[in-house]
Amino acid sequence: MKRKNTFEIFVVTAPGLEPALGREMREKGFERSSNLVGGVSFRGTWTDVWRANLELRGATRVLARIGAFRATSLRQLDHRARAFPWAEFLRPDVSVRVEVTSKKSKIYHQGAAAERIERAISEELGATVAPDGEVKLKVRIEDNLCTLSIDTSGESLHKRGHKIYTGKAPMRESLAALFLRQCGFDGTEPVVDPMCGSGTFLLEAAEIAAGLQPGRDRDFSFEHLASFDADTLAEMRRSEPIHVPEARYYGFDRDAGAVRGATKNAERADVAAWTQFSEQALSDLEPPQGPPGLVITNPPYGARIGNKKALFSLYGALGKTLRSRFSGWRVGIVTSDAGLARASTLPFVETGPPVAHGGLRVKLFRTDPL
């Protein structure tokens, strides 16, 4: 039975990771969804929009489809944009930014189309339209169908709101969460990152284990919309863990600054009790006491050609250490270079899809228990 007052909600993620995000959404109780290119679509209410922003670790942003109409000329676009019920979604006291894309349509001039919609919002609603508006309206014109969506997130959702230190070439939190999921991590086992940098994998693992909401420490663009209810959001937002993790999460790095930064990040994220960061060379890596778990890391891979030989040696040393000392542990390595992954000589059972990260295409290489 369909719920009333539902609309299409599109949850954006990195292309290639749509199935992993879809599984997360189903586990969190969102309605039946469809994997599309670049994200997952489902029908829901504004409450679902708020919860998706608060709780989905693999999401980059959440778009609310607020309406659509056909237009084959700028004049028709102007007329229908003026008739659109903007006041149901936008507030006259909140500035708006309009972004238009057009494809296979008679209206091909994106700038002119944006001007018509901006003028309609300004004159019919009374809101200020500005390039740095607090709310972004995304307009897609395709095959003469004009689809209106509101970016309800604002800043990318990988920005959890509690991380200060980022280090060099940091792994985005949303990617880390989905890579953990693809490695079978469910929050019940220890995790080790031998080249942890700012600690992203460990922070995400500890938060997953504790049941903490990824968006608990940040603001969202939907808080500036006409549909927003502050009391309902306050009831949904949880700052405390659901349970205390039994496992622990260990990060190591040769850079003392990275270790200090990761430790501070863990403190701000309220997971310091379950994480441990230490300055240590890869050659000294040993498994922690207790049952085996997951080793997951994002080693260097973007070095200049002149440093390539050193990288092959690094991956080789990583593989040798893991094979000799981490029996029973699973391994996940994220890298842009399949040759480097093979240099580890680890028995990879699966290569993940290529994912855009930092201007490169990276893949997850994972093993079964060693």
The structure tokens listed for 292 are 């085996």
All structural domains of the chain, each given as residue ranges with its CATH number in brackets, are 7-151 (3.30.2130.30), 173-216+239-367 (3.40.50.150)
Q: Compute the average pLDDT of residues 107-133.
A: 96
pLDDT at residue 2 is higher than 80? no
Question: Please, which pLDDT band fits residue 32 given cuts at 50, 70 and 90?
Answer: confident
Contact 133, 167 (CB under 8 A): no
Query: Distance between CA atoms of 46 and 8, rounded to whole angstroms?
Result: 10
Confidence check: pLDDT of 306 > 90: no
In this prediction, residue 1 carries a pLDDT of 44
In 183-327 the beta strands, taken as DSSP E runs, fall at 191-193, 249-253, 275-279, 294-297
Residue 134 has pLDDT above 80, yes or no: yes
Which residues in 71-185 belong to E strands, given as ranges?
Answer: 96-103, 135-142, 145-151
CA geometry: angle 307, 313, 319, nearest 5 deg: 140
Whether residue 304 has pLDDT greater than 70 = no
According to the model, what pLDDT value does residue 321 have? 98
Position 244 scores a pLDDT of 94
Tell me the two tokens of residue 227. Answer: 């549909």
Q: Are 157 and 68 contacting, i.e. CB atoms less than 8 angstroms apart?
A: no
Q: Kindly give the interhelix angle for 18-27 and 173-182, rounded to the nearest 10 degrees.
A: 80
Residue 318 · residue 252 · CB < 8 Å: no
Percent pLDDT > 90 in the chain is: 88
Q: Which residue from 192, 209, 172 is spatially nearest to 333, judged by alpha carbons?
A: 192
pLDDT in tens, 264-283: 999 999 999 999 999 999 99
Sequential DSSP letters for 254-286: S-HHHHHHHHHHHHHTT-GGGEEEEE--GGG--
Entry pTM: 0.95
| 336-365 confidence digits (pLDDT tens) | 999 999 999 999 998 888 998 878 899 999
- Residue 323's pLDDT band, with cuts at 50, 70 and 90, is very high
Q: Evaluate whether 248 touches 277 at the Cβ level (below 8 Å).
A: no
- Residue 97 · residue 131 · CB < 8 Å: yes
First to last CA, the chain: 47
User: What distance in Å separates the CA atoms of residue 129 and residue 261, rounded to the nearest whole number?
Assistant: 39
201 with 173: CB under 8 angstroms? Answer: no
